[in-house]
Structures are given as structure tokens and as C-alpha cells.
Structure 1
Amino acid sequence: MDARDAMAGRPGGRNLITDVAGLRVGQAHDARACTGVTVILPDERAMAAVDIRGGGPGTRETDTLGASNLVRSVDAIVLSGGSVYGLASGDGVAAWLGAQGRGFTLLHQPGVPPSPIVPTAVLYDLANGGDKQWGEAPPYRDLAMRAARQAQPGFDLGTHGAGFGASAGALKGGLGSASYVTHDGMTVGAIVACNSFGSVVAPQGRRFWAGAFEIGDEFGGLGPANTRAEGENWEYAKLDPRPRANTTIACVATDVALSPDELQRVATMAQDGLARAIRPIHAPFDGDTVFAISTGQRQAPMMEGPVDPRPFIVCRLGALAADVLARAVARGVYRAVTPEGMTTPAWSSF
């Protein structure tokens, strides 16, 4: 075995974000409305951070995770369709958690419920062909509660959860996830709902921009794109970049105990995974948002040498988060199918 083999890692057993110990995921969708919700549920409160790069984000409680604020941990993260209506999904999960006594409490007082911290990001799927005539009763609160109740380690990719009604450029978008376990035992995972303006495939072919990061044949095994990215050739991007009509929302996670500031750097680095998988990205009409959470299930591995090992651990985790997120984007689109009511073609029929 050479040095490279000794340093090699692998995807986790599920190749899902739930390979990170202490995480479950729940999903629910409304096929008639062509929309859905995904809930990332840690077993216990988890340190968290967020990085927002899109010009048209739709979010809830992201300010809570700011460096100068009191609470920088979360009880759940929610990814939802529905644009501004989908922000109600955070209300549903907060209500469900509070009923179980879970949430932030500054002072414990009889009869005073805790305050669950549930940062939420939404994507725009209002014009995808589904029936959105819901009047004063959008479905997102109920969908989110249903998703939270059925959270488990295994979950489906593609046309599920927050990715149910998504479109990735000219293709059907979807819900994707992937993971990686390092040679010294650290686990990194990602989950993403891809509804991007930009394309996930290169011009003149079916190959994913993220092909260079594929492990095995997890999204077709076609390898890297065999074409050059030329100037402003945005083939297979959306041709009608309506305001707030696009967004890729994601969460990356690790089992390594990190501080909120360290997680902030991981979230920032993880955004590069979207740049590797989608072209163009972070546009004025995207709402790209990446959360990062740590379940704190293990300590960082020891490193030999005279320098402080922490920055190197953060660097490794951030670089892996970017790679894993790129793979998750491609896996979500690769697994997606076109539901009734939508006309956007799936990758499999492209």
C-alpha cells in the first residue's frame, strides 16, 4: 500500500448526509401542488453556521447564527419549496419540536415552553405547473410537521422533499445527498435541493460539471465533462431568469466537534461545491444558501508537528464539504423524474 492508498477515504455506508452520526432526515411532498419539504433533524442541538451567496434568498432565522448573537446552535434545519410561503415550514417544525420540549431555554420556568431554533431556506417552485390555488392555507406547515415526524437515517433522492418541484437549469432538479469518510474517521455529508438558474451539465452532452468529483458511478459514471467552458455559453441554463425563480439550498454536516466560527469557514468553503457543479452560480436571481452543522460526535484527529492542527482540520473538512456538495447536486438531478404536471425533462430522458 502506497501513501496515497493509506490516505484514501470512501463514501459512507448510505452515501447520504445521515452517515454523519446524530442526524436524521424527513421528507414530505404534495404531488398536486408539485412541491415539498425536507427536514434535517439532529438528535440533539447542533452547532451551526450559514453562508448566503445568491442575490435573491428566502430565509428564516439565519441572523440567529451570526457571530455576535446569543444562539449559534439549532434544533433543526429546513429546506423547502414554496418561496415565501415555504417559510411556514419552519413554523411547523418549531411547533413539533416545542411540543416535545426541545429548544433553546435561557431560564427554565414552569409552564414556559422552549424556543426551538429552526433556520429555514426556501426555493421558488411556484410556476412549475402544480396547483398553487391554496388560498389562505399553503401546505408547508403541515408538510414540515409530517416530514419531521418521519425523520430517519434513510431517505430517497431525486423528486422528493424540497426537490420535488425543482428545476436545475433546463433539466428537472431534485433532492441530492452524498457523504465521505476520511482515512482517520471524520465524516462529512451534504444534502441539497437544486433549483438552479445555471446548468448542471456541460454543453453538447449529458455529462455533469461535477463529473470530476464522482466516486464510482453514483451519478452515471460518465466521467468529467469532455468540453471546454466557453465564455458566456450557458447552454441548458434557464432561459427566463425571473426574479426569485431559482435557488439551490443545501446543508453540509460533520460529526467532528467544531466551534461556530470554524463551522462558518466550512460553510463558506462548501459554497465552492455549488460552483463546481452548476454554471453559472450565485446569480442575482438565485437564492443560494448553504448551512453547516456539527453533531459533535467525535473529536478531531490528532496531528503531529509544531503547528496548531485546528486550522488544518477545518481546511480538510471545508474542502471535503465542497466536493461532497458537488456530488450531491449531480446525484439529485441524476435521480430526478418528472412528476405529473411538470414538463421539464429529467436527465434520464435528456
Structure 2
Amino acid sequence: MTGKSGSWRTGLVLGGLVVAGLALCVVAVGIGSAFIPPATVAEILGYRLTGLGDPTHWTLTQDDIVWNLRLPRVLLAILVGAALSVVGVVAQAVMRNPLADPYVLGISSGAALGAVAWLVLGAAAFGGVSVGVAAFAGAVLALFAVAAFVRFTGTFSSSRLVLAGIVIGAGFTGLTNFLIFQARDVGTTNTALFWILGSLSGARWDQLLVPTVVLVTGVVLVMLLSRQLNALLFGDATAAALGVDPNRVRLLLYVVAAALTGVAVAVSGVIAFVGLIVPHAARLVVGSDHRGLVPVAAALGAVFMVAVDLLSRTVMPPEELPVGVVTAVLGAPAFLLLMARSTVRFGES
């Protein structure tokens, strides 16, 4: 979808997602073991952000719940959802496979292995690097393992790519489980399980800076490469004829995808299928032109993750389901549906 009509539709969709997202965030911040009315949430947020309002309209406990407990969690959901969705868009375009996403391709499993290895073996074993760097290294390792397998074992095919991702991801998951099994400390084991199930429950303000910087940088880079992504949809030969160096662009996008996935896994654990569901939903609305698809997928992924997190907190009160469990339940049927279709509309506008 190109031209003015496409730009107008993209703008309208983004505007609608922003409005819906803001409303959903206010509702999500208010819902929990202690319910806070949306009007009160809006007043607290307005006062915190602008200094305007009357703080006697709410209690200190409500202020603490909204600002220090629930808002960081909602913002983290926005960042993780947007990051995984953009990775899904990139993976599907670069690998020309509508089933590609960070979970199916094993990228999330690689990031989880890096994070769990850091937790179990200790920071000293990694030269003092952070868990985010360890997760990024694992994501890069998994991504390049899948790409190398497909490259050196024959002609490119969607089935070969998916099978390679599933097998390599399973191997990384096995190594992760082995590390957890070997952990002697119960606290370490419980923390490591967090990376396997996926959760946003540990969100804090000090966790948000790095994901925000990485996400904004990654989305900007992908937006700048929108024309090259469009060209890659039609194959390397066509892309080269259009003046695009496919290998160079693909390498850069691999690094961006690994960085976004690594950061997302470092702060939330393994959350499956977001990068599969959201890009396809966005593509149905704005088409396959990445100039509109990337920002819409990021916004839709943010809204989707806030909604999923809210569902995980409310579906079985007072227990809380891991977010990764909810997305797996929603994403598995979507994955099977896409596999069952004889033709997947991909690369069309």
C-alpha cells in the first residue's frame, strides 16, 4: 500500500491505536487486588506528570500502587510488545517466511539461554557483563545458527527455515533446562524459571531506560530501512537490481532483531508468538509496505501486550498466570492456522 491513501490509512490506524492504548493503560493500571477507578488513575497520572490536580482526591496508598507498582508494569508491557512485534516484521521480511517470529526461529530461546546462564553461572563467568548483554549474545547465537544452517544445507525454503528454528530453539531450551536443573540455589532456580514462563510482574522504573533506548533505536533503524525491507520481499536478485545490498541489509537487521529480542527477554522472559500474531494482524490493516507496517505493528504489539498482561492478572484471581502462557495459548492456534493455509498472502500491498 503506497501513496497518499496508504499514508492516510496508516495515520488513522496509528491514531486509533494510540487512543485505544491510552484508554487501555488507564484501565489496566486501575485493575488489580485493589481496584482504583479509571478517573482516579487519570487524576494521579495527570498530577504526577504535570503537577496539576488535587492530591487530596486520592490516598497515598493509591498513589503508590498506580505510580510505583502498576504503571511500570504497563509501560514494560508496551516496550516488550512493540519490540517483539517489530522483530516479527523484520524476520518475516528478511527470511521471506510468514511463519517467522523470534520464538519460532529460536531467537527467544537463545536469549533465554544467555539470561539463565548468566543467572546460574554468575556474572563473573561472563566477565561482569549484564544479564541484558548475555541475553543479546544468546539471541545472536541462535539467529545466526538458524541462518547458517539454512544457508549451508541447500536451497532456501520456508519449511527448512521453520524446522531449523524449531530444532535449534528446542536445543537451546534443553540447555536452559539443564542449567536450571544444575542450579543448587532454590532462589536462583525460581528466578531462572521466570525466563522460561515469561512474566512482567517484576517491572520497576529502573528497568525501563535500556529497553526504551533499544526499542526506539531499533524501530528508527528499521523505519530507515523500510525501502530495503520492501525490496527483500521479492528476493535477493530483485533487491540487488533495485540497488539494495541484500547481505549487508540482512546482517544489520539480524543485529537489530537480536538486540530487540535480547532486551525483551532480559526484562520479561520468553513470551511466545507475539511476533507471529501481531505483524499479520497489522498487515491485514495497512498492507505489506513497511513504511506503514513497522509503526503500526509496534503500536498494535504494545496494545496487545497490555491487554494480554491484564488478562493474565485477572483470569484466575487471586493467582496470576505467566504472560508467556497466555500468549502461547493464543498463538499456537494462529500458528497452526497459518501453516494449514495452502497460500499465505505475503509480500502483497
Give the TM-score normalised by structure 2.
0.26
Determine which structure has the larger helix proportion and give its number: 2
The structure that is strand-richer by fraction is 1
